Structure 1
Amino acid sequence: MPTLKYSIINYLCHLLFYINSFPIVLSFSGIFGSSFSLAAETIVIRYGLFEQSVAVDDIRKYEETQQVSADLASLLDYLSPKQQQKLLEVLQIKIPLDIVAMNKLVTSETGEKFLNFVALAIARSDNAGIQALRSAILLGAKAPKGLGIISFLEAYPSERIVVNLPVALEMLEKSGWLNEEIDINESCIYIIPK
């Protein structure tokens, strides 16, 4: 039986890989702004010079009501029906986590290695990628229902979160996350409240 620390790291891996793969597997996109706000308003996917973006509000509406905006529809077209269903399931996962324990985890050696790995796929014009991820995880975990993709995005300290598609796809390939058969719920069984 996995330890709680292992389970939380496993969930964070899943969460951040889906944050990366959402724009990644969906489409290609953009550039990371240097302006700081309290929440990401847009996810931008960069593939070379090509960019595509979708508003975080559109993602929230999709998660809550399954209504799809035009921008989101153009991204969802890149996914198979199974991948679209998996994405919706992942968007709906919210896990209440202890902030003190999360802080210890994301500042641990293992947490630092994980954040360094994930930060490679998020394009920034500064060197604050790891700090931004750590902040978004900790602030996102304070959301009333717990940490999820939407609460992570709403806590990300920039107006835009830009995913470097080639790097993210390489990470997903190495991790096996491009396999449609992976069951996110099975991986998170030890920390998802019943």
Structure 2
Amino acid sequence: MKSLSQAIISLLVTVGILGGGSAIASETIIFKYKMFRESISVGELRTFADTGELSSSLEFYLEKSQQEPERLQQALITPIPADSVFLYKFFNSFPGELALDQMSSIVQHPSGTANRQSLRAAFVSSALPDDNLRLIEVMENYPTAEVLVQGDRVIEFYENLNQIMENFDRK
């Protein structure tokens, strides 16, 4: 039964993404900190998440925002257990939409539109394969070509998401 639910959720997420005319996944992450903006390819961020190797752009950004690369790397790759069916149902409820609105102040579309829907799709798509959320996957699965990230708040984003998953029955 869970497999059927996951297949239906996957179909709904795919239709929602394609029906909105958006790209299937993000290609560029724009990290913002105060007046600084640094564009990083998703590949650069994935390399950093997997290996700890910093591109010059990411190194510049982390230096300017006074962030510890190790903490960011851990936030990107540490899995948060999250059942995809639960996520879909939760993020379509009133409390879930409030949580999405709060978190979309940190990870958002550069235009500031459709943040709730985009973030919901990214969460569910990220959890579908293995019932785990990783921030690197959320950013990779964000359904627009670019995603704007308040870079100095990535750790806060991870902690908020982890808290939500701990506070609600996932399975």
* Alignment TM-score, normalising by the size of structure 1: 0.60
Q: Secondary structure at the match of 1:85?
A: helix
Q: Which residue of 1 aligns with 2:98?
A: 113
Unmatched tracts of structure 2, length 5 or more:
1-19
What are the residue-to-residue correspondences of 1:128-167 with 2, within 5 Å? Answer: 128-144=114-130, 146-163=132-149, 165=150
> What is the alpha-carbon distance in structure 2 between the residues aligned to residue 45 and residue 156 of structure 1?
14
> What is the alpha-carbon distance in structure 2 between the residues aligned to residue 58 and residue 144 of structure 1?
23
Amino acid at match of 1:150: I
Equivalent of 1:37 in 16, 23, 39: 23
1:120 Cα offset (Å): 3.5
Q: Which residue of 1 aligns with 2:47?
A: 61
What are the residue-to-residue correspondences of 1:41-120 with 2, within 5 Å? Answer: 41-46=27-32, 51-80=37-66, 83-120=68-105
Q: Structure 1 pair 62/38, CA: closer, same or farther in 2 (3 Å)?
A: same
> What is the alpha-carbon distance in structure 2 between the residues aligned to residue 137 and residue 108 of structure 1?
15
Amino acid at match of 1:43: I
1:78 Cα offset (Å): 2.7
Q: Which residue of 1 aligns with 2:17?
A: none
1:124 Cα offset (Å): 3.9
Q: Secondary structure at the match of 2:148?
A: strand
> What is the alpha-carbon distance in structure 2 between the residues aligned to residue 56 and residue 85 of structure 1?
18
Q: Secondary structure at the match of 2:80?
A: coil
Q: Structure 1 pair 36/114, CA: closer, same or farther in 2 (3 Å)?
A: same
Equivalent of 2:113 in 112, 121, 127: 127
Q: Deviations over 1:106-157 (max 9, x none)?
A: 1121111111122234344363111001100111112447211111012111
Unmatched tracts of structure 1, length 5 or more:
1-33, 178-182
Q: Deviations over 1:27-76 (max 9, x none)?
A: xxxxxxx9821111111134687532111111111111111111111112
The aligned length equals: 143
Amino acid at match of 2:76: L
Mapped contact 1:45–1:53 kept (Cα < 8 A): yes
Q: Secondary structure at the match of 1:53?
A: strand
* Alignment TM-score, normalising by the size of structure 2: 0.67
